[in-house]
Structure 1
Amino acid sequence: MNLPKWNWIAMVQAACLVALSVCLVEAQQPDQVDGQPYIEDIEPLPKTMLQAPTVEVQAERSFETPGSTEHWFGGFGRGQYAHRFDMMHKNPDDPARYIGFGQPLIGTSWRNRPIHADVFGGTIMLQNLIPGEIDQAAAFFDGVRLGYDFDHYWGMEARFGFAEGRLIYPSNTAISGKSQLILVDYSMQFYPWGDSTWRPYATFGLGAAIFQYDDEFGRTRDQTQVSMPFGLGMKYFIHQRIALRFELLDNVTFGGTDAQSASNFSVTAGFEYRFGGKNPSYFR
């Protein structure tokens, strides 16, 4: 075949370019190792890109904790005071359910069994019924209570107490008599430490005091007076259903026609049996 000289030159150059291209392609292909295809190394991504972002939290706290307090009653300007009086501590995980020096209850609460039935006993210092005419000696004082803690810081209860005292007649010491005192009242309790193992409280109430006694002439007299018990106490948590209780009260009675006003101090101890409620789980 007769081709022009310049065509032969073009064909040779094209063949050389094709051969060079084939060589370059083969040089760029990786070798196979043990019959396995070669996988090109890929630089791994930084761990910071592979890990999900985390948020530093305390698992035991689900919301804001009230600030620390320098004394048992808390401060007025820092939020602690309001926690004791808002009466809205319904969440079992509420960190505001205990504030103060008392060891907090963990995993349980006084409000697991908010209703309590109590028995108590102690001494009451009976004051003179009529000064100079009818005096009274100290007497054994016992009774029962029924109460309900409607918040970690507040409760209410009804009380029935009974005492039988010995009468002394200054005008005739050769004879003596007996008196009976019945106290029926309703009171409120304030627990400044909230849901703690040791649970101090202040109490204040209103009710009636019924006196029955014999005068020096043997006549029976009855007197019903308004009473106002107030004082301090302490409870100790043993179990969800059992608690110890100690109390110091001034059982003030306002006088009438047959008895004067008096402060009848009582010191008692007893225990509570607690029941009722939904028994929620207190996680902290």
Structure 2
Amino acid sequence: MANQTVLGQQTMVPEEPGEAYAMGDTMPHAAAGQGYPMEPEYGVDGSYGEPSCGCGDSCCDGECCYSEWPCDEVLIDRGWWRALRQKYRFRHSSIDGRSIGRGYPLRGTSWLNRPYSFGLETGGFMMASRISSNNTRNNDVLLAASLGWDWDHYWGTQFRVGWSTPELHSNVPSTQVPSNNVLMYDLSLMYYPWGDSKVRPYYRFGLGMTDIDFITPAGIREDNTMFSLPIGVGIKYQTKRWVALRAEAADYITFSQNSASHMQNFTLTFGMEWRFGGRPNSAWSGPRRECDW
């Protein structure tokens, strides 16, 4: 055995091939109490005792200096794209469970325990465009009622009716007086990205109709029913197991018909909804249940 200094450590190096380390000798990669034959380690330049660096790397000061692009390998980091898709993809309870852990996930109860809802809302109705060239734009109060059905922790359906009476002043003389009624009704698909949580944001996309009564540029009263696409974003907050507060902002894209022009009507509403339906199973209604229905 001979003394050899490698990287600042004094190591016993075997002089004969096959000579083993004795118990207690220093060997960086040997388990205590065992003997292994010495296998010298060479660096990229062939010098004994230097670390063996990989392809494209160099040795400096006894350590490997890794190059930014080793060899000819092309590195493409798609982790951000996978994370983005995972974060904003559509979810379903069969894959993602009841919730994603945000907004105070419900324990002991669920929105699906009472999957049906009836809601009342009020707020503002704002016209972004005129119904015709001779009519002015106007804003007014909106009243709305809705019926809903949540058939999954992340999905539901809603039918909504909204009513407003903005004054549509016409600059064309007419002997007829319009009612200025605006009636909107639609069927929407609801998506709840956080799932079964106390704070429950949602998006909704739907199809509907908008009925409006106004004076045409020819001075004739006309009542048109136009195709519309409502797109909305909102939030629900469960105050009791059968009551929730809600707020919503929506854009009703209405397509032109007859004398009526293409319109965009914005609504901002606040209200309440009452939950009902469903029935507890034996596990919930048993005398020893420890959770609230």
Q: Same fold (TM over 0.5)?
A: yes
Q: Which residue of 2 aligns with 1:3?
A: none
RMSD: 3.0
Q: Percent identity?
A: 34
Q: Which runs of 5+ in 2 are unaligned?
A: 1-79, 285-289
| 2:97 partner SS | helix
- Measure the CA separation in 2 of the matches of 1:248 and 1:279: 34
String of CA shifts for 1:237-269, please: whole Å, max 9, x gaps.
011110001000001100111211111000001
1:1-284 mapped onto 2 (5 Å cutoff):
76=85, 85-88=91-94, 96-126=97-127, 127-131=129-133, 133-170=134-171, 178-215=179-216, 219-279=220-280, 281=284
Query: Is the CA contact (8 Å cut-off) linking 1:129 and 1:259 kept in structure 2?
Result: yes
3-state SS, counterpart of residue 270 of structure 1: strand
CA gap of 1:253–1:105, structure 2 versus 1, over 3 A, is: same
Task: Give the drift of 1:143.
Answer: 1.7
Is the CA contact 1:191–1:199 (under 8 Å) kept in the aligned structure 2?
Answer: yes
Aligned length: 202
After superposing on structure 2, the runs of 4+ consecutive aligned residues of structure 1 that deviate more than 6 Å are none
SS of the counterpart of 1:88? helix
Counterpart CA distance in 2 for 1:169 and 1:209 is 20
Contact 2:119–2:145 under 8 Å retained in 1: yes
Matched-pair contact (CA < 8 Å) for 2:141–2:164: yes
CA radius of gyration, larger in:
1
Contact 1:167 1:179 (C-alpha < 8 Å) held by counterparts = yes
- Name the aligned partner's letter for residue 92 of structure 2: D
Change (3 A) 1:75 1:97: farther
Name whichever structure is richer in helix by fraction: 1
TM-score by length of 1: 0.64
TM-score in terms of structure 2 length:
0.62
Structure 1: give runs of 5+ residues left out of the alignment: 1-70, 90-94
